[in-house]
Amino acid sequence: MNCRPFLCLASLLAVNLASAQFVAYKYPKVTGNQAYGGALGMDFDVIVPIKITALGIFDSAQDGIKNNIDCILYNRDTKAAVASKAFSPSNMGIGDGSSNFLDLATPVYLPAGFHATIVAQGYGILERNGNSFNPSSTYATSLETGGGLIQFTGKSRNGAFGTFPTTIDFNVAQYGAGNFKFVSALPPVPEPTTLLVLTPALFLIRKRRRA
């Protein structure tokens, strides 16, 4: 054997983590409770280099996108947009049950230490955004860091349509608005030269060797 069973298993788990794709915000399957047409932003920091593979937006009532809504990824330090996608009734993207996503033609690399804000703008009466209206709770039911690849930090923010939002709101993930998918940008962990399948037979062999 080229590797011990448990070392092989750990290596396989590391390979799976390195190739996994994560969704940042898990939004509730509800109708939005606010019709704000301006820019709604939520901050996050990159701890380990990542690639953004898709941008998304909250889908109120999970019945398709009824407004023209933009999702924009900003550099929070420079206020420059680094990626964007335009959603519309004719370009809704693919839904995951509470958000709709459009893939980026080329994933966007974000280095460790990058300060980002994910923004969505253009919600309204026909397609409402979500808002927790509560300094002690997020609108999303869960926040995905990808095992520590990113960190949700700072506050949520709002501002005028077409601008980087600078008005600070209650908490770190207050809105049902923008979303994104991401993967680790670290080099993949080399796979074991021999892949071991942990079966009862393997444990039987180990038991016989001890006899």
The three-point CA angle 67-104-20 to 5° equals 115
Instruction: Quickly count: other Cβ atoms within 10 Å of residue 63's Cβ.
Output: 10
Q: How confident is the model at residue 12 (pLDDT cuts 50, 70, 90)?
A: very low
pLDDT at 97 exceeding the cut of 50: yes
Class of domain 20-190: mainly beta
CA distance 43 to 11: 33
pLDDT at 77 exceeding the cut of 70: yes
* Every domain of the chain and the residues it spans: 20-190
What pLDDT does residue 207 have?
A: 53
- Residue ranges of alpha helices (H) inside 20-164 are none
What pLDDT does residue 47 have?
A: 99
Please tell me whether residue 205 adopts helix, strand or coil conformation: helix
CA distance 205 to 176: 53
Q: What is the mean pLDDT of residues 159-172?
A: 96
Looking at residue 66, its amino acid is K
Contact 82, 180 (CB under 8 A): no
Taking the whole predicted model, whether its pTM rises above 0.75 is answered as: yes
What pLDDT does residue 188 have?
A: 72
Q: Going edge to edge, which strands form the sheet with 50-58?
A: 21-23, 178-184, 50-58, 99-110, 94-95
CA distance 110 to 31: 32
Q: What is the mean pLDDT of residues 150-166?
A: 96
Q: How confident is the model at residue 199 (pLDDT cuts 50, 70, 90)?
A: very low
Residue at token pair 């990113």: 150
CA distance 203 to 192: 19
CA distance 52 to 56: 11
What would the two tokens of residue 129 be? 């955004």
Contact 40, 72 (CB under 8 A): no
**Which position has the higher pLDDT, 135 or 177?**
177
**Which position has the higher pLDDT, 15 or 140?**
140
User: What is the largest distance, in Å, between two alpha-carbon atoms of the chain?
Assistant: 74
Q: What percent of the chain has pLDDT over 90?
A: 76
Q: How confident is the model at residue 17 (pLDDT cuts 50, 70, 90)?
A: low
